[in-house]
Structure 1
Amino acid sequence: MAVIAFHGDPLVKAQALDRLQRHVTAGSFVYFPAWENGNANVIGAVVEADDTPAYAERLGYPLALAETLPMLVNGFRPQPEAVRFALAWLERTPVGADLTTIVSQLVLDLLANADLVKLTERYPDVEQSRQAIMALHRRAIDGDEPDRKTWKAARLAAVAATDAVDEAALERRAAQVVEAAAWPGTMRTVLRDTLNGLGTAELHLSLSEAGWTEENESRVFHIRQQAETDGYKAELSGLDRVLAILDADHPALAEQFRVRLDLMEESSARYRALAWKAIELMEQAPIAATRLAAQ
């Protein structure tokens, strides 16, 4: 069944934009929660409820895409950037665009990630699963949607491949990304889980290559916790306080911690890149009437 943006009705788009803009103007647009005490996130602003399926149904977006939208918005900081993206999401989605294959296109983009491939290629069964699942998403894009039995077989193979990788290994996280993608684009969480898994895998790979360890993470945590107990540098707060403490007492760790922060920011860029990619794909999607006329 085709998924048509705004059900081909410009008034549906206009109403959604108006509701979102009203929250932006009123200062009640937030990252989360979706709908509480007059505040609303990108979903709640439109449907005035914490109801992602209602958002997808009302506006004609694939449910998996709507489910991922708050995560995408959360990747934009500070908030004015999140607002800019949220408005662009609606403004740049063409009325009547056939969004049926958008989710599979985005999943393919994630599965082709170079860092992911670097890890999956170390385990032949994991790499085989990656390629097999990409092939199924390509079939769906071409209009030959695999049946449930085919998806299940691919998913079971991916689970088996994941289970064969040591739990502490980075490759295990990569295998879990492949496993998360082993669902059709109609599955509510397929895009969200694949994106989240890839973001986590990339971050851990980057941190490992930079020499940041779990011991470092634990050490910073305990230093911060002790400072809270002692009231050390209490004139500062949040990240500024942590950096001030590390600079004063642990300069080598402070330098490493700044590298960690930079890598965290690079990880957020993955979410922003996919966010703009989604908009570009929607802009390029065929308009339903045009597609029907060609059939």
Structure 2
Amino acid sequence: MIEQIGAGPASPAPDWEAIGLPAAIPPALEMIGRLGDSPDALVLWLDAVAPGASLRHLPSKMLLWTMHRLEESGFLSDELGKVAGLHARLIAGDEPPRAEWKAVRRAAIAETNARQGLDRLAHGVVEAAAWDPAVAPTVLREALGPWLQHIAATAATGTGWSEADVRAMQKIVDDARASDPAADPLTVVQEKAPALLARMDAARHADQAATVSAAAAALEALMRYTRECQQC
């Protein structure tokens, strides 16, 4: 969360497009900077932008980067290929019509709605990316969000933590509160299922470490593309 300094009303958000910068970048930077332990990410990015630079296609490049990370994790989807193709065309100067974006997005939404768990998060990345950044200034943030959740959930699952553990912990807590509404959940679980609590702690630490690492990687990629793509 960005803290306001001093008294008085908050300043209005800058009109990024009016000063020649893609509006989809700052919201994403604020998120990955916060999660990647780089609270000054937006300032660092602005410092890296050369005067008069054209970064129109930077959001699409980052969306492609994000979807490629999904592919590297083993995720396969026809919709991912279609959404990536639209962004590749946009970068190449062949701007897809809005009707095409809409059709691809509707198919991606249908795929997301048909999935559960990690698969749903992965499809959610593709669904969120199915927008032309010129008309959707939060598109990059909305795509990076489920990608980071997918990374975190995968890391937690890798520790052995499971949905069965979640249900078991909830049952212990619910049973304890049924007899004592003031019961402390962590104390109850520690007493009745210490191994379960240990697995939860391991999953939480893995989740947090993976999130920080992935957010930092996204920030590094964005800064690299900014340096390389001053005329994209």
Relative to the length of structure 1, the TM-score reads 0.64
Deviation of residue 184 (structure 1)? Answer: 0.9
Contact kept? 2:55, 2:226, Cα under 8 Å: yes
Whether 1:56 aligns to 2:5 is: no
Q: Quick one: which amino acid aligns to residue 225 of structure 2?
A: L
Residues 207, 263 of structure 1: 8 Å contact kept = yes
Distance 2:107 2:101 in 1: 10
CA 56–272 in structure 1, closer or farther in 2 if over 3 Å, else same? same
- What residue is the counterpart of 2:97 in the other structure? 147
8 Å CA contact 2:173, 2:188 repeated in 1 = no
Q: 1:159 aligns with which of 109, 112, 115?
A: 109
For the residues of structure 1 that align with 2:99 and 2:89, how far apart are their CA atoms? 15
2:196 corresponds to which of 253, 271, 283: 253
User: Does structure 2 retain, via aligned residues, the 8 Å contact 1:130–1:178?
Assistant: yes
Which of these residues, 149, 152, 155, is aligned with residue 200 of structure 1? Answer: 149
1:113 match: secondary structure: helix
* Bigger mean CA deviation after superposition, 245-254 or 67-76: 245-254
Q: Which residue of 1 aligns with 2:211?
A: 267
Deviation at 1:100, TM superposition (A): 0.5
1:107-151 C-alpha deviation (Å, 9 max, x unpaired): 0001111467524x3xxxxx1110011011000111111110111
Within a 5 Å distance, the mapping from 1:123-134 to structure 2 comes to 127-134=77-84
Q: Which amino acid is 1:60 matched to? A: G
2:39 to 64, 82, 100: 82
Q: 2:62·2:140 contact (CA, 8 Å) conserved in 1?
A: yes
Letter of the 1:75 counterpart: L
- Aligned residue for 2:74, secondary structure, equals helix
Conserved 8 A contact 2:79-2:108: yes
Aligned to 1:105: 61
Q: Deviations over 1:4-37 (max 9, x none)?
A: xxxxxxxxxxxxxxxxxxxxxxxxxxx325x475
1:84-123 alpha-carbon deviations (Å, 9 max, x no partner)? x34422222222221000000000001111467524x3xx
- Determine if contact 2:173/2:189 at 8 Å carries over to the other structure: no
Cα deviation, residue 71, structure 1: 0.6
2:123 to 171, 175, 183: 175
TM (norm. structure 2) is 0.80
1: CA distance, partners of 2:61 / 2:30: 19
Q: Which residue of 2 aligns with 1:69?
A: 29
Report the Cα distance in structure 1 between the residues aligned to 2:92 and 2:74, rounded to whole angstroms. 28
The CA RMSD measured in Å over matched residues stands at 3.3
| Higher RCO (C-alpha under 8 Å, 6+ residues apart) | 2
In structure 1, runs of 5+ residues without a counterpart are: 1-30, 122-126, 233-241
2:155, 2:210 within 8 Å by CA — same for their partners in 1? Answer: no
Moved over 6 A (4+): 244-249
Q: 1:91 aligns with which of 47, 60, 84?
A: 47
State the number of aligned residues: 225
Structure 1 pair 255–134 and aligned structure 2 pair: CA distance change class (3 A): same
Per-residue CA distance 1:223-270 (angstroms, 9 max, x = gap): 9x98x95689xxxxxxxxx7x997787542343234211232212321
Percent identity between matched residues is: 23
Q: Secondary structure at the match of 1:112?
A: helix
